[in-house]
Amino acid sequence: MFTLYSYDRMISGLSYYTWEWILLIGAFLVTVIASTTMNSTFKQFSKVQSKTGVTGREAAARIAYHIGLGNMLISPIGGNLTDHYDPRNKSLSLSQSTFNSTSLAALAVAAHECGHAQQDAEGYGPLRLRSSLVPVTQFASSFSWILIVLGLFLSIGPLCTLGVVLFSAVVLFQLVTLPVEFDASRRGLRFLEETGLIMPDEKAGARRVLTAAAMTYVAALMASIMQLLRLFLMTRRRD
């Protein structure tokens, strides 16, 4: 049976402090690599114009009509890669790099967000679960660190433990997010094909954009797990 004693033996080759830094740096590197890959892939395919010449907004409108959501509001939003679907008002916001762009990257991103819109319309289970976890996650991400810092400063072990448990909610949220994002990308690629927005030889490029976007959420989960382990080590080191 795995115990704290066996856990301590497992990491005994290095100090708790060293492992904390390894996990911190690991989380940082995973996040940076995923973000760099996504930005690089998007930049590459934002220079590849789609053969249909359709803008991201037009693509989203065509897909929305195709999936029975023709009345969905589609509007521009500032920033880069800030595209998102808002289930509260059933609207789609496309960033400046997507809204009026005719690139293959813009079409892929617009289709991905339409995937979220269809998930919402169908009551897709993982999406509903993720939405229900948002308030808990927001609370946990804000207060977990406060509890841990107070617990360490005041030498109150249960306070540290509560903080670590709260941060676990963040990891759970990231885990639930994965099927939501991968499914939206799968739907998006199918939409692009079904509506004739991409040609057969453009499918590989669109898939690369969608895969790179989804992998950022895998990286976020890995970084959160590393951060959770680091917090656990911090509390164990204090003990």
Identified catalytic residue from 20, 58, 113, 181: 113
Structural domain includes residue 109: yes
DSSP conformational letter for 200? G
User: Are 86 and 93 contacting, i.e. CB atoms less than 8 angstroms apart?
Assistant: yes
Q: How confident is the model at residue 23 (pLDDT cuts 50, 70, 90)?
A: low
Is 202 an active-site residue? no
Q: Which domain holds residue 111?
A: 7-238
Structural domain includes residue 216: yes
Structural domain includes residue 2: no
Structural domain includes residue 77: yes
C-alpha 118, offset from chain centre = 18
Structural domain includes residue 135: yes
Structural domain includes residue 56: yes
Structural domain includes residue 78: yes
pLDDT of residue 123: 95
Please give the tally of structural domains in the chain.
Answer: 1
Structural domain includes residue 1: no
Q: How confident is the model at residue 55 (pLDDT cuts 50, 70, 90)?
A: very high
pLDDT of residue 2: 43
Rounded Cα gap, residues 165 and 31, in angstroms: 23
